[in-house]
């Protein structure tokens, strides 16, 4: 059996999280990892208890959905809520982070960002990551995970 690499394993988690997204414009998932251990996950969605884009539509301001909290921010905020340090952590995200998420990632002390898909990669975000010495690597998620049903003849 071929095992997933660590990068593929954590990226798979981010893609699974993306399936929970409630903003219909883009399904994004993010996983924060420290010492090969998942410490938080997030997806694009509304504030807790708030209306979802999938139910009421996107609330657009200047071409952006104001109703949605980005996956990266949701994961970082989950760490803050539950007292888990992000200093020196790694982030796996389905899409390249926007400028605002980039700044939050840097301020949270995250040292590595792995992303699967390019999405409006902004030159300023790239510059900020370089200036802050955040390692950024594209890790395409191309593994197909097959779930094989075991035929149990002992029934």
Give catalytic residues, as residue numbers: 72
What is the Cα gyration radius of the chain? 17
* Phi-psi category of residue 63: left, alpha or beta, with phi > 0 → left and psi -120 to 50 → alpha: left
Distances (CA, A) of 30 to 12, 19, 57, 90, 95: 10, 11, 23, 10, 9
Please state, in angstroms and rounded to a whole number, the distance separating the CA atoms of residues 108 and 93.
15
What are the tokens at 7? 């990068």
């Amino acid at each position: 059996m071929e095992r997933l690499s660590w990068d593929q394993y954590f990226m798979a988690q981010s893609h699974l999280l993306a399936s929970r997204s409630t903003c219909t414009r883009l399904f994004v998932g993010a996983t924060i990892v420290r010492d090969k251990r998942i410490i938080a996950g997030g997806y694009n969605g509304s504030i807790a208890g708030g209306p979802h884009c999938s139910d009421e539509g996107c609330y657009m301001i200047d071409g952006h959905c104001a109703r949605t909290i980005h996956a990266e921010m949701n994961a970082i905020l989950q760490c803050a809520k539950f007292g888990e340090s992000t200093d020196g952590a790694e982030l796996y995200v389905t899409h390249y982070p926007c400028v605002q998420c980039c700044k939050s990632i840097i301020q949270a002390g995250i040292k590595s960002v792995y992303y699967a898909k390019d999405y409006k990669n902004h030159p300023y975000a790239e510059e900020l990551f370089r200036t802050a010495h955040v390692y950024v690597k594209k890790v395409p998620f191309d593994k197909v995970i097959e779930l094989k049903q075991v035929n149990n003849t002992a029934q």
